[in-house]
Structure 1
Amino acid sequence: MAKNGFYLAVGHKGVRMSSRDARTWSKPEMDDRRYFRTVAFGNNTAIAAGKNDYSVTKDGKNWSKAQSLPKGGNGIGFITYGNGQFIGTGTDVNYNGTTFYYTDDGQNWTKDDQKGKGLLRLVWGDNQYVAVGGSGRIARSKDGRKWEDAPDTKPIDTLIDVAYGDGTYVGVGLHGLRMSSQDGLKWNFKERGLEGEHFNTVIWTGEKFVAVGNGGTLESPNGRSWERIPNENAPLACCYGDGVFVGSHWKGRILRSTDGYKFDEVLKLDNHIEAIIYAEA
Structure 2
Amino acid sequence: MGKYLINNLEYIEPANELKGEWLELSSISRAFNSIAHGNDVFVAVGEGIVAYSPNGRDWVYTENESIGIINDITFANGRFVAVGNDKIYSSINGLTWTETDIGKDNNLFSVAYGNGAFIAVGSVGVFSSIDGITWEHDRNNLYWTTFWSVCFGNNKFVAVGPYSVASSNDGQTWVSNDIPFKNGMGYLTSVAYSKGKFIALGGLDDNGSMIWSSNNGQNWDTVAKAHGSGFKGNIIDDQFFFAGNSGLLYSSNGNEWLLKSLPPDKNLYDIVKGNNKLIAVGLLGWDGSSPVPSAPIMLIDINDF
Task: Give TM class, smaller chain.
Answer: 0.7 to 0.9
Take 2:78 and 2:87, find their aligned partners in 1: how far apart are those partners?
19
Partner of 2:3: none
- Flag structure 1 segments of 5+ consecutive residues without an equivalent: 1-21, 92-97
Partner of 1:205: 194
Deviation at 1:82, TM superposition (A): 1.6
Deviation at 1:77, TM superposition (A): 2.1
Greater shift after overlay, 112-121 or 145-154?
Answer: 145-154
Aligned pairs for 1:135-174 within 5 A:
135=124, 137-153=125-141, 156-174=144-162
2:245 equivalent to 1:257: no
Deviation at 1:115, TM superposition (A): 1.9
Partner of 2:177: 190
Partner of 1:221: 215
Take 1:39 and 1:87, find their aligned partners in 2: how far apart are those partners?
11
Take 2:98 and 2:140, find their aligned partners in 1: how far apart are those partners?
31
* Residues 4-54 of structure 1 deviation map (CA, whole Å, 9 limit, x = unaligned): xxxxxxxxxxxxxxxxxx975431111243332211112222101122222
- Flag structure 2 segments of 5+ consecutive residues without an equivalent: 1-15, 204-208, 277-305
Kindly indicate whether the alpha-carbon contact (under 8 Å) linking 1:212 and 1:260 is maintained by their aligned counterparts in 2.
no
Deviation at 1:151, TM superposition (A): 4.9
Take 2:41 and 2:60, find their aligned partners in 1: how far apart are those partners?
15
Deviation at 1:178, TM superposition (A): 0.9
Partner of 2:270: 275
Take 2:238 and 2:256, find their aligned partners in 1: how far apart are those partners?
13
Kindly indicate whether the alpha-carbon contact (under 8 Å) linking 1:232 and 1:263 is maintained by their aligned counterparts in 2.
no
Take 1:280 and 1:203, find their aligned partners in 2: how far apart are those partners?
22
Which of 56, 67, 77 matches 2:62?
A: 67
Aligned pairs for 1:29-178 within 5 A:
29-33=23-27, 34=29, 35-60=31-56, 62-68=57-63, 72-91=66-85, 98-115=86-103, 117-135=106-124, 137-153=125-141, 156-175=144-163, 177-178=164-165
Distance 1:235 1:227, change over 3 A: same
1:66 partner letter = Y
Kindly indicate whether the alpha-carbon contact (under 8 Å) linking 1:236 and 1:247 is maintained by their aligned counterparts in 2.
no
Kindly indicate whether the alpha-carbon contact (under 8 Å) linking 2:53 and 2:60 is maintained by their aligned counterparts in 1.
no
Kindly indicate whether the alpha-carbon contact (under 8 Å) linking 2:161 and 2:189 is maintained by their aligned counterparts in 1.
yes
Distance 1:155 1:126, change over 3 A: closer
SS at match of 1:72: helix
Distance 1:42 1:269, change over 3 A: farther
TM-score (norm 1): 0.77
Distance 1:204 1:278, change over 3 A: farther
TM-score (norm 2): 0.71
How many residue pairs align between the two structures? Answer: 248
Greater shift after overlay, 139-148 or 124-133?
Answer: 139-148
Larger RCO of the pair (alpha carbons < 8 Å, separation 6+)? 2
SS at match of 2:102: strand
Kindly indicate whether the alpha-carbon contact (under 8 Å) linking 1:158 and 1:173 is maintained by their aligned counterparts in 2.
yes
Take 1:160 and 1:109, find their aligned partners in 2: how far apart are those partners?
24
Greater shift after overlay, 194-203 or 30-39?
Answer: 30-39
Distance 1:148 1:66, change over 3 A: closer
- Deviation above 6 Å: which 4+ runs of structure 1? none
Kindly indicate whether the alpha-carbon contact (under 8 Å) linking 2:234 and 2:272 is maintained by their aligned counterparts in 1.
yes
* Residues 124-162 of structure 1 deviation map (CA, whole Å, 9 limit, x = unaligned): 111101110114x11221122332333534554221100
Deviation at 1:78, TM superposition (A): 1.6
Kindly indicate whether the alpha-carbon contact (under 8 Å) linking 1:235 and 1:248 is maintained by their aligned counterparts in 2.
no
* Residues 178-230 of structure 1 deviation map (CA, whole Å, 9 limit, x = unaligned): 11111111111523222522111100114211111234222122223322223
Partner of 1:181: 168
Partner of 1:246: 241
